[in-house]
Structure formats: structure tokens, C-alpha cells
């Protein structure tokens, strides 16, 4: 296997699928009517198992035969990350990365580095962003995202998405955008005086990301559900108003919807200082685990402890591949027959079994000069083709082509 190739996924260390499910908004039917022309073949794209024949339509114009059946066309995933930092943590892993790895064989997967989204809160401090992007791509590869299966691309290199976002903005009222819970949270957390236009439009841009590649499924953390819900509304509204161009995507939240921080806070966050990073070395992991928050009432090992809601056991459930060990520890813990130290030591060992292969793979990919750049360049070219095709369909549905003659009747960009 060459350095560019990606082998089998690293062990998923018991990151189970229980409790996982697609999310549909309240009151909405789970699956939608008339899912649009998802079969329109796309120029220059390889789609496994489907043959297509280009058909000359006229002078110098090549278009693809639209009637070609394309039942084999795989459903699509689109998901993404803002490059706000240079490392993913375990919460990101169980929340969304694990799903992306698991589903990339089944779905045609698009993975977006959402740097334009970053501008909404950070317009004048972009120095580190290039570095962050580089490191996050290495993290993707290290957990088993395979760039041959997953199209990894950079949002700012596909500014066409802004055109779709602009169109969508006309379909969303200001009060609707203001009701998105993340907006208030960001304004509060970043102590902003008020939201900028871009911040208000953030979820609309996200809808454009998803619908631009006609994403069917969006694996995300729980905090993103309101954005996917808005995306569903926008897709329906566009389809109802013009023509059925877009699928109505579902969100998919990970098996552990929200991994607590090492300090017991509900959310793990790098900036909260309570995160274990995929890139942490063995020593750091040990230190963080050994100082983890557990059942505060349990001052001595012979006092029966609470397993439910105890972060140490949440981590055991998520990462320890030795399920029998976990059950045995839980039962002794409940009876007051095991000390916190032993529970934590076993967690350290389990974490190492999970993280060591990831670190090894990361080092291997990092040693391959130019790999990340190549992945982004190739992925972006593919994403661009998809985006042009979708935009063309959207413009056509809207009748936004009254001067189409100007570009010769084909997509020229």
C-alpha cells in the first residue's frame, strides 16, 4: 500500500451503533415525495457500475444522455467541519467522524472544510487556518477516512456555493433565521454585540453546502440538528416553488450523541480544556484520564458508585473494545468493590488500544509530502463539477437563464 492509499479502517474500538438513527423534524414525514432528478448524469464523473454515453446535441455541444437509467447511483453524504483548530477530539470522533468512516463505502461521501463558515466569526484572524486545514485532513486520514472514497474539498475554492446560498436566502425569513438556537449561543459565547449578516446567514450557507452536492444524509454532532432542519425546509420550499431539484436530507447523529468532557461537563471542547485529542500522546492521555471526573459522592472505593452518567463509564462504553471487562468493572463499581484508579487504568489501556493505530497512521500520512494538498486539489475539482451541475439545474428550475445565450447554452465555468 502506497503512502497515498488508505487501508482498512483502524479498529473502531467498540464505538457501537446503538441509539443511532436518522433524525427527522417533528411533524415531517421521514421520507419525501418526488425526490428530484438525482439521476442526471454528471459530466466527467466516474460512477461505479454505470455506463453513460455522451450524446452530441448540436454544434460543439456535448450533453449527457439524460435518459440513461442510473439505478446504481449511490446516495450521498455531505458533512463538514470548520477549521477552527488543528485537532479533532474524541467527542468529534464519536459524534461524527466514526459515522463518516463507517458509511463511506455505502455512500458517495463529500467532506467539506468549511472555511467560509469560519469568516462569520473570525474575519480578521486567518493566519492559522491553512495549518488547521492541513492537520484536520491528516486527522481524517488517520481515523480511516479514505480520500479515494470520500471527496475532501475546501469551501473557499468553490465560491459557487455562495450563489446557491444567495438564492436560498430569499426563501428564508429573517425571524426564521433568528430562531436558530446556535445563533444565540454563538453571540453569547463570543460575547458579540450582535450577529453580523453573515452569522445570521450561517445555516443558509450550510444548507447550500449540503444541497449543492445533493446530499441525502448529513452525519453531524447534535448541535447541528437545527441547521439540517432548516436545510430540509429550504429544499422543500425550493422544490415546491420551482421544480424538484433537491433531496430533503436527513441528519445522522453518532452513537454517543454528546461525549462529556474529562471534567464532567456535558460537552467536550478543545477550547474548554476538557478534551482528549486524537493527536494526544500516550503520556497526555494517561494524565487526562487519571484526573477525570467520576462519581463525586464516592470518596472511598468501598462505597457503591453510580455508573449511569459517570463520564469514566461513558468513555468505557464508547472506546473500550473489551465489553466483558466493562461489564465486570461496572458491576464491581456498583457494589463498591473497585477503586476509581483501577477503572481509570483500564480506561487508559483501552484508549491506547484505540489511539495508537490512529497515531501510527497519522505519522505515516504526515510523512508523505504534498499528499494533503493533492487530496484537496483533486477533491475540490470533483466537488466543483457537482456544484456546477446542481447550480445549472437550480437556475433552470427558476428560469434564471433568460440570457443563457451569453454562455452558449452550456455550463462554461
* Size of interface with ligand TRP, in residues (CB under 6 A): 14
Tell me the DSSP string of 46-103.
Answer: --TT----EEEEETTEEEE-TT---TTPPPEEEEEE--SSS--BHHHIIIIIHHHHHH
Closest to ligand TRP by CB, 218 or 234: 218
H helices present in 367-407, as ranges: 371-398
Q: How far is the CB of 214 from ligand TRP (least distance, A)?
A: 13
Task: Collect all residues with Cβ–Cβ distance below 8 Å to 196 and sequence separation of at least 6.
Answer: 120
Closest to ligand TRP by CB, 257 or 348: 257
Q: How far is the CB of 219 from ligand TRP (least distance, A)?
A: 8
Is 80 near ligand TRP (CB under 6 A)? yes
H helices present in 250-339, as ranges: 282-290, 311-319, 323-335
Query: Residue 359: how many CB atoms within 10 A of its CB?
Result: 17
Task: Collect all residues with Cβ–Cβ distance below 8 Å to 292 and sequence separation of at least 6.
Answer: 262, 263, 264, 311, 312, 315, 344, 347
Closest to ligand TRP by CB, 326 or 387: 387
Phi, psi of 49 (to 5 degrees): 85, 0
Is 210 near ligand TRP (CB under 6 A)? yes
CA-to-CA distance for 256 and 141, rounded, in angstroms? 22
Burial of 308 (0-12, 13-18, 19+ CB in 10 A): exposed
Closest to ligand TRP by CB, 236 or 364: 236
Whether the Cβ atoms of residue 160 and residue 384 lie closer than 8 Å to each other: yes
Q: Which of 150, 224, 380, 390 touches ligand TRP by CB under 6 A? A: 224
Is 150 near ligand TRP (CB under 6 A)? no
Q: Which of 32, 81, 135, 216 touches ligand TRP by CB under 6 A? A: 81
Q: What is the torsional sign of CA 248, 254, 256, 258?
A: negative
Is 82 near ligand TRP (CB under 6 A)? yes
Closest to ligand TRP by CB, 79 or 389: 79
Q: Which of 121, 142, 206, 279 touches ligand TRP by CB under 6 A? A: 206
Range in contact with ligand TRP (rule: CB under 6 A) among 13-21, 168-176, 217-225, 307-315: 217-225
Q: Which of 32, 139, 209, 393 touches ligand TRP by CB under 6 A? A: 209
Whether the Cβ atoms of residue 228 and residue 249 lie closer than 8 Å to each other: yes
Is 232 near ligand TRP (CB under 6 A)? no
CA-to-CA distance for 184 and 172, rounded, in angstroms? 18
Q: Which of 89, 100, 117, 382 touches ligand TRP by CB under 6 A? A: 117
Is 386 near ligand TRP (CB under 6 A)? no
Q: How far is the CB of 99 from ligand TRP (least distance, A)?
A: 12
3-state secondary structure of 170: coil
Q: Which of 112, 129, 376, 394 touches ligand TRP by CB under 6 A? A: 112
Q: How far is the CB of 4 from ligand TRP (least distance, A)?
A: 26
Closest to ligand TRP by CB, 114 or 343: 114
Sheet holding 250-253, edge to edge: 21-23, 250-253, 217-219, 76-81, 108-113, 150-154
**Residues 49-78, mask of contacts with ligand TRP (x by CB under 6 A):** -----------------------------x
Phi, psi of 238 (to 5 degrees): -60, -50
Q: How far is the CB of 247 from ligand TRP (least distance, A)?
A: 14
Q: How far is the CB of 250 from ligand TRP (least distance, A)?
A: 12
CA-to-CA distance for 368 and 358, rounded, in angstroms? 16
Closest to ligand TRP by CB, 88 or 313: 88
CA-to-CA distance for 60 and 57, rounded, in angstroms? 8
Is 212 near ligand TRP (CB under 6 A)? no
Is 90 near ligand TRP (CB under 6 A)? no
**Residues 177-196, mask of contacts with ligand TRP (x by CB under 6 A):** --------------------
List interacting residues with ligand TRP (CB under 6 A).
78-82, 112, 114, 117, 206, 209-210, 218, 220, 224
Amino acid at each position: 500500500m502506497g503512502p497515498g492509499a488508505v487501508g482498512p479502517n483502524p479498529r473502531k474500538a467498540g464505538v457501537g451503533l446503538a441509539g443511532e438513527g436518522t433524525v427527522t423534524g417533528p411533524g415531517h414525514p421521514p421520507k419525501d415525495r418526488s425526490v428530484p432528478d438525482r439521476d442526471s448524469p454528471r459530466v466527467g464523473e466516474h460512477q461505479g457500475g454505470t455506463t453513460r454515453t455522451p450524446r452530441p446535441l448540436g454544434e460543439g455541444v456535448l450533453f449527457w444522455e439524460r435518459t440513461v437509467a442510473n439505478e446504481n447511483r449511490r446516495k450521498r453524504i455531505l458533512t463538514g467541519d470548520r477549521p477552527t483548530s488543528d485537532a479533532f477530539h474524541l467527542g468529534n470522533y464519536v459524534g461524527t467522524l466514526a459515522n463518516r468512516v463507517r458509511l463511506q463505502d455505502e455512500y458517495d461521501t463529500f467532506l467539506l472544510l468549511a472555511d467560509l463558515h469560519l469568516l462569520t466569526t473570525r474575519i480578521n484572524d486567518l493566519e492559522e487556518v491553512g495549518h488547521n486545514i492541513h492537520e484536520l485532513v491528516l486527522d481524517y486520514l488517520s481515523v480511516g477516512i479514505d480520500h479515494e472514497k470520500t471527496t475532501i474539498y475546501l469551501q473557499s475554492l468553490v465560491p459557487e456555493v455562495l450563489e446557491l446560498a444567495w438564492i436560498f436566502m430569499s426563501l428564508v425569513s429573517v425571524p426564521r433565521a433568528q430562531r436558530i438556537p446556535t445563533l444565540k449561543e454563538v453571540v453569547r459565547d463570543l460575547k458579540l454585540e450582535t450577529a453580523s449578516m453573515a452569522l445570521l446567514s450561517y445555516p443558509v450557507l450550510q444548507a447550500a453546502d449540503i444541497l449543492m452536492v445533493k446530499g441525502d444524509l448529513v452525519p453531524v454532532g447534535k448541535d447541528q440538528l437545527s441547521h439540517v432542519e432548516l436545510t430540509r425546509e429550504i429544499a422543500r420550499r425550493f422544490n415546491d416553488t420551482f421544480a424538484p431539484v433537491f433531496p430533503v436530507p436527513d441528519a445522522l447523529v453518532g452513537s454517543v450523541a454528546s461525549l462529556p468532557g474529562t471534567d464532567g461537563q456535558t460537552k467536550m471542547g478543545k477550547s474548554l480544556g476538557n478534551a482528549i485529542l486524537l493527536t494526544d500522546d500516550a503520556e497526555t492521555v494517561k494524565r487526562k484520564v487519571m484526573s477525570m471526573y467520576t462519581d463525586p459522592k464516592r470518596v472511598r472505593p468501598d462505597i457503591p458508585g453510580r455508573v449511569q452518567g459517570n463520564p469514566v463509564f461513558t468513555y468505557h462504553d464508547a472506546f473500550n473494545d473489551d465489553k466483558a471487562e466493562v461489564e465486570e468493572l461496572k458491576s464491581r463499581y456498583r457494589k463498591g468493590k473497585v477503586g476509581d484508579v483501577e477503572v481509570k487504568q483500564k480506561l487508559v489501556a483501552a484508549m491506547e488500544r484505540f489511539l495508537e493505530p490512529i497515531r501510527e497512521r497519522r505519522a505515516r500520512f504526515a510523512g508523505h509530502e504534498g499528499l494533503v494538498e493533492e487530496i484537496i486539489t483533486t477533491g475540490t475539482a470533483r466537488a466543483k463539477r457537482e456544484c456546477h451541475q446542481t447550480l445549472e439545474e437550480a437556475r433552470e428550475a427558476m428560469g434564471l437563464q433568460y440570457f443563457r445565450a451569453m454562455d452558449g447554452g452550456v455550463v462554461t465555468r
